[in-house]
Each structure stands twice: as C-alpha cells, then as structure tokens.
C-alpha cells in the first residue's frame, strides 16, 4: 500500500479487526476451556501468548517494512500454533486464531494467493495432526463434523478476507488514478497560466519592438528630410540678394521652424519609445497574470494596489509576482477557493502584501516547496512571510522593506 493518510486509516482498520479477533479468542477460550481447569498455568500461558500475538499485530499495523512485517507474521503463526495445539477440540477458537494472520496478510502481501491457501490448510492440520501428546489427558480429536465446520468456516473467512483485500486494492487504484488526474490537472493549469503569461509578454514585446522599429524609421525619414530642408534653407539664405531683406527674413523663419520641428519630432519619438518601457514590470505584469489566472480557473480575484508605485524595481517586482502566483495556485489546488482578495500597501518604508481566499483552509499547515520558496524569496529581501488558516479560508501575508531613491520616489 502507498503511504498517505488513507493508508494509515486502512492499517488502523486492519489492526482493529485483528484486535477484535484477539478479544473473541479470549472470550472463546474462557467459554470452553476444560484443559485450563485441569492443567496448572495453562490459562496464564495462553494469556501471555495471546498478548504477544496482539503486540505483533500492532507492530505489523504500524511498521511499513515488508521484511519486518513478514518475520512478525511468521512469529505470530508460531504463537497461534502453540495456543491452538492443546485446544484443537475447540473448533471455534481455531477459526478465530487463524483468522488473525489471514487478515494481517492484507498488509504484508501484494497478492493474497499464498496466504489464502496456506492459512486454512494450516488450521485444518493443526486440528487433525497431533503427534505429541499434551499433559496426561490430552483433548480428543475433533469429529468429522467439527472438521467439516472448521473447513467451511476457514473457507468462508478466507473468501471474506479476499473480498476485503480486493475492495481495498480497487480503492487504492482509484485513489492513485485520482491523484494522477489531480496532478495532471495541476500541470495543465500551471502550463495554461505559463502559456497565457508567455503569450501576453510576447504580445507586449512584439508591440514594443514594432514601435521601436517605427520610431527608427520615422526618425530616419523625417529627420533626414528636415535636415535636408534646413540645409537648403541655409543655402537659400546665403544666395539671397542684399536688397531682399523680406525674403531673407522669411527664409530665417522657415529655417527656425524646421529646427523646431526636428527637435519636437525627436522628443515625440523618444516619448513614444518610452511608453511601453514598464509594461512588463510591476503592477502591469501583476495585472496581466491575475487576469490570466482568473480566466483560466474561473476564480474571482479582487486586487487593491493601494498606494504602491507602478514598480519597485526588478527584484521586488519578481518576488511579488511569485508570491501572488504561488498563493493563488495554492488557493485553487488545495483550498478549493472561489474568491481571492489581494491587497498592497506601503507604510513607513514597508511594503505590505496580503492574499486571502475563501477556501477550506488547512488544519495543519505544513510548508511545501511552494510556501518554502515564497519564504526564501521574501527573506532574501530581508522581509517576513506569515500564513494563517481559519474556517473562512487561508491567508498569506508578506512584509518587505523598501528604500527610497535619490529622487524621493520608491525605488
């Protein structure tokens, strides 16, 4: 069986059945125990063997090592043979005792063929073969009717155990398929989010590159044309006759306008190139990613950017994106959330980030790779990351110190 919460519950269920069989064996021993009434200390010896068998059942239920469990099972068979050997006339006790290792075999063996055949045969042999006499007055051999009852009982118990084992295997296979499907969905979700983010970034980059190309072409064409016009006007001024003051004044005005137009065109082109300089950073990138996540998952995401600037710089911007990405993904995958609230605020040199969802939360918060990576990113910026779970959902909070640039704006 695979490790996991269900496996632990499954092992506890098997141990509970074995403990119940031990209790029934104890009651059956005290219901019919003619030997115990005549033989000194047999009652105490039976009790000790039964307790040792119960401890072995507990060890098999808790220990996952196949070899140790197999050795424990063989040892338990030996104890059961000792308990059943003088009590072979009590067929009900034999059925109860040999049902214990048959049930435990569901935890030890991947295939139940060998235990299903060996255990009933060993129980029948234990009741029929009696080479060594016990004490002075051994119990009589069981009748053919008792042996038939023993055989039918062991076959019935074996069929029940095989059915239980088969159902447990089917459940385990279904859980494994569900786990694989969940993993596939998670991978598809992450791939979809990455693809949408990549597509958005590629689209923005293509737009930026196209605008840069246009600015270069406009600069080359308009700049070259205006410069040529200026040079021609300069030449015209030089060739103007001395008595043509009005013409010369017009040519000077035209030259000045060309120069002014050239400067304005260059300034406009520089501004045009700077329009998208921050489209792939800061709040713009967060908005695009959050929008892509909401479209891919159907989760309603509410964002409040508060008083934060468009960008804190590449390092903090990247950390914010990763924190938001991981928190939202966990809310979808583990929290089963339908709503997420994200808030940012700057207060006294600290950037405060809070991401809350309305999911199922977590009773025991065990940081995985995602939460650990978030904490490491925040700690690298000398910040702190905290998590809190409640009946209303899960909350991730981060506090990151920021510094001011020389121009007084947030760096």
Mean pLDDT of 138-143: 65
Least confident window among 156-160, 233-237, 397-401: 233-237
Report d(CA 70, CA 76) in Å as an integer. 10
pLDDT over threshold 70, residue 238? yes
- How far is 77 from 139, CA to CA, in rounded Å? 21
* 339 pLDDT above the threshold of 90: yes
> For residue 120, what are its two tokens?
């009933």
Q: How far apart are CA 30 and CA 24, in angstroms?
A: 10
The β-bridge relationship of strands 300-304 and 384-390 is unpaired
Express each pLDDT in 198-236 by its tens digit. Answer: 665 666 667 667 767 777 767 667 666 777 777 777 777
Q: What per-residue confidence (pLDDT) applies to 253?
A: 74
> Once rounded to an integer, what is the mean pLDDT over residues 262-276?
68
Looking at per-residue pLDDT, the higher value among 409 and 318 belongs to 318
Please check whether residue 377 is in contact with residue 338, taking contact to mean a CB–CB distance below 8 angstroms.
no
Q: How far is CA 16 from CA 105, 107, 115, 117, 166, in A?
A: 14, 13, 20, 24, 19
The three-class DSSP label of residue 406 is coil
DSSP state of 336: -
Predicted pLDDT of residue 20: 92
Range of lowest pLDDT (57-71, 262-276, 320-334, 372-386): 262-276
SS3 label, residue 335: coil
Distance CA 399, CA 316 (A): 11
d(CA 308, CA 380): 21
In angstroms, the Cα distances linking 184 to 3, 294, 333 are 20, 19, 12
pLDDT tens sequence across 53-77: 999 888 887 777 778 888 888 898 8
DSSP state of 341: E
Residue 400 banded pLDDT, cuts 50, 70, 90? very high
Question: Given a cut of 70, is residue 8 above it in pLDDT?
Answer: no
pLDDT of residue 234: 73
Answer CATH for 282-401 from 3.40.50.300, 1.10.10.410, 3.30.565.10, 3.40.50.10860: 3.30.565.10
Q: Where are the domains of the chain?
A: 5-142, 194-274, 282-401
Mean pLDDT along residues 98-122: 82
**Residue 408 pLDDT:** 37
Do 344 and 353 contact (CB within 8 A), yes or no?
yes
Query: Please, which pLDDT band fits residue 304 given cuts at 50, 70 and 90?
Result: very high
């Amino acid at each position: 069986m695979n490790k996991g919460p269900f496996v632990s519950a499954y092992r506890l269920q098997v141990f509970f059945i074995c403990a119940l069989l031990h209790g029934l064996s104890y009651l059956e021993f005290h219901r019919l125990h003619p030997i115990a009434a005549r033989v000194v200390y047999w009652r105490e010896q039976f009790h000790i063997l039964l307790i040792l068998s119960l401890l072995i059942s507990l060890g098999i239920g808790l220990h996952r090592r196949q070899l140790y469990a197999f050795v424990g099972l063989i040892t338990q068979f030996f104890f059961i043979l000792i308990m059943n050997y003088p009590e072979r006339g009590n067929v009900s006790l034999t059925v109860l005792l040999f049902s214990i290792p048959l049930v435990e075999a569901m935890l030890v063996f991947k295939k139940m063929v060998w235990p299903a055949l060996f255990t009933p045969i060993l129980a029948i042999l234990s009741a029929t073969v009696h080479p060594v006499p016990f004490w002075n007055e051994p119990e009589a051999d069981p009748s053919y009717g008792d042996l038939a009852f023993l055989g039918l009982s062991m076959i019935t118990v074996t069929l029940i155990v095989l059915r239980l084992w088969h159902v447990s295997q089917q459940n385990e296979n279904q859980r494994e398929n569900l786990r694989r499907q969940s993993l596939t969905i998670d991978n598809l979700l992450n791939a979809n989010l990455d693809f949408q983010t990549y597509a958005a970034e590629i689209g923005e980059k293509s737009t930026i590159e196209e605008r840069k190309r246009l600015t270069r072409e406009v600069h080359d064409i308009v700049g070259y044309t205006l410069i040529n016009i200026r040079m021609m006007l300069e030449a015209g001024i030089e060739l103007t006759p001395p008595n043509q003051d009005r013409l010369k004044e017009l040519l000077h005005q035209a030259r000045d306008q060309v120069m002014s137009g050239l400067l304005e065109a260059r300034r406009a082109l520089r501004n045009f190139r700077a329009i998208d300089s921050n489209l792939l950073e800061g709040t713009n990138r967060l908005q695009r990613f959050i929008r892509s996540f909401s479209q891919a998952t159907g989760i309603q995401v509410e964002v409040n950017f508060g008083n934060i600037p468009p960008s804190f710089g590449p390092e903090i911007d990247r950390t914010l994106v990763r924190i938001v990405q991981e928190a939202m993904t966990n809310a979808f995958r583990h929290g089963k959330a339908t709503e997420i609230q994200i808030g940012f605020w700057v207060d006294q040199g600290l950037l405060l980030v809070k991401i809350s969802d309305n999911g199922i939360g977590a009773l025991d918060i065990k940081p995985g790779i995602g939460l650990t990576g978030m904490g490491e990113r925040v700690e690298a910026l000398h910040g702190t990351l905290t998590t809190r779970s409640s009946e209303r959902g899960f909350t991730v909070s981060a506090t990151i110190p920021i510094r001011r640039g020389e121009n007084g704006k947030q760096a």
